Amino acid sequence: MARVLITGGAGFLGSHLCERFVAEGHDVVCMDNLVTGSPDNIAHLVGSKHFTFVHHDVTNYIYVAGELDYILHFASPASPIDYLRLPIQTLKVGSLGTHKALGLAKAKNARFLLASTSEVYGDPLIHPQSESYWGNVNPIGMRGVYDEAKRFAEAMTMAYRRYHGVDTRIVRIFNTYGPRMRVEDGRAIPAFMSQALRGESLTVFGDGSQTRSVCYVDDLIDGIYRLLLSDEAEPVNIGNPDEITMLELAREIAEIANSASDIIFMDLPADDPKVRQPDITRARTILRWDPKVNRREGLLKTMEYFKQKLGVK
């Protein structure tokens, strides 16, 4: 069995990764400074002989005693509400944090997997987005702190691979949802669900015609796990290509919640992507991966989680 370090391991995706590796019998070191992560996400793992939590900011020197087989770098604010609130921290964890994590991978001779994002494509001029597309990003816009941090992290990862021979993987993660998202996360699904369950108006930005392709978290984690164990060094999109407009998504969530909430429209944020859909040809071909959970099934599972968090029956 392997020994794995997961940075950002107390976050939404990080905690699900910790859970998957522990379930597979691996030893997991979960590292997080809890700026956006939560101890609640990993509480069920504490006490397992296969799980260790370390409270640490990865932009500082990282020390982990003993051998490491894999390092998965997931430390970063990931929702617009977070990286707009924490712009400097977002840039630092994408640059300094990635540098420190790659340095550790080099020292431990560990395989390194970078959590990148569909945001490297910016507001795309091609649709759907394939890994060969270089993107359309505003480097000085409000969202640039996240977009460029991840683009830099990809460049740093490939530099360590080419110059130092570190064994690396890069996953470009598209919109993902599921249990352990924060109620006040700010992204569409948590916002719509919490508003619907509270009987509040659902807020849709712009006219709601902008699209997203949402992937249930269990599917995403399986894709990441497959990529880590593969021989693929180039970036791979992982996401569900089932595209939906924000207005359609809001209505679907209101219907699932049996809510009579109305929908109100607000100004579209600057540089908000108008379309987002992954081309997952590479994931299908190389990893033999395809999302299994359809949107309604995933939304129902996520709704149950939000009902518990909000105390709604």
**DSSP class of residue 118?**
G
User: Which residue type sits at 270?
Assistant: A
Task: Map residue 7 onto helix, strand or coil.
Answer: strand
Q: 168 pairs with which residues across the strands?
A: 112
**DSSP class of residue 129?**
B
- For 265-288, the DSSP string reads EEPPPTT--S---B--HHIIIII-
Positions of the chain with pLDDT under 70: none
Q: Specify the pLDDT at position 192.
A: 96
In this prediction, what percent of the chain has a pLDDT beyond 70? 100
Find where tokens 């996520």 sit. Answer: 302
pTM here? 0.97
The pLDDT tens digits of the residues spanning 81-135 come to 999 999 999 999 999 999 999 999 999 999 999 999 999 999 999 999 999 999 9
Active-site option among 83, 121, 146, 160: 146
Phi then psi for residue 2, to 5 deg, are: -90, 160
**CATH code given to domain 179-212+242-276+293-310:** 3.90.25.10
The pLDDT tens digits of the residues spanning 204-240 come to 999 999 999 999 999 999 999 999 999 999 999 999 9
Q: Specify the pLDDT at position 64.
A: 98
Q: Specify the pLDDT at position 303.
A: 97
Q: Specify the pLDDT at position 272.
A: 85
146 a catalytic residue: yes
Domains 3-176+214-238 and 179-212+242-276+293-310 share a fold: no
The two three-digit tokens of residue 305, written as one number: 């989680």
The two three-digit tokens of residue 3, written as one number: 């020994």
Cβ(285)–Cβ(279) under 8 Å? no
Domain range 3-176+214-238, CATH architecture = 3-Layer(aba) Sandwich (3.40)
Q: Specify the pLDDT at position 55.
A: 98
Find where tokens 């996953």 sit. Answer: 171
Cβ(98)–Cβ(140) under 8 Å? no
Domain ranges of the chain: 3-176+214-238, 179-212+242-276+293-310
Q: Specify the pLDDT at position 186.
A: 87
C-alpha 97/C-alpha 57 separation (Å) is 8
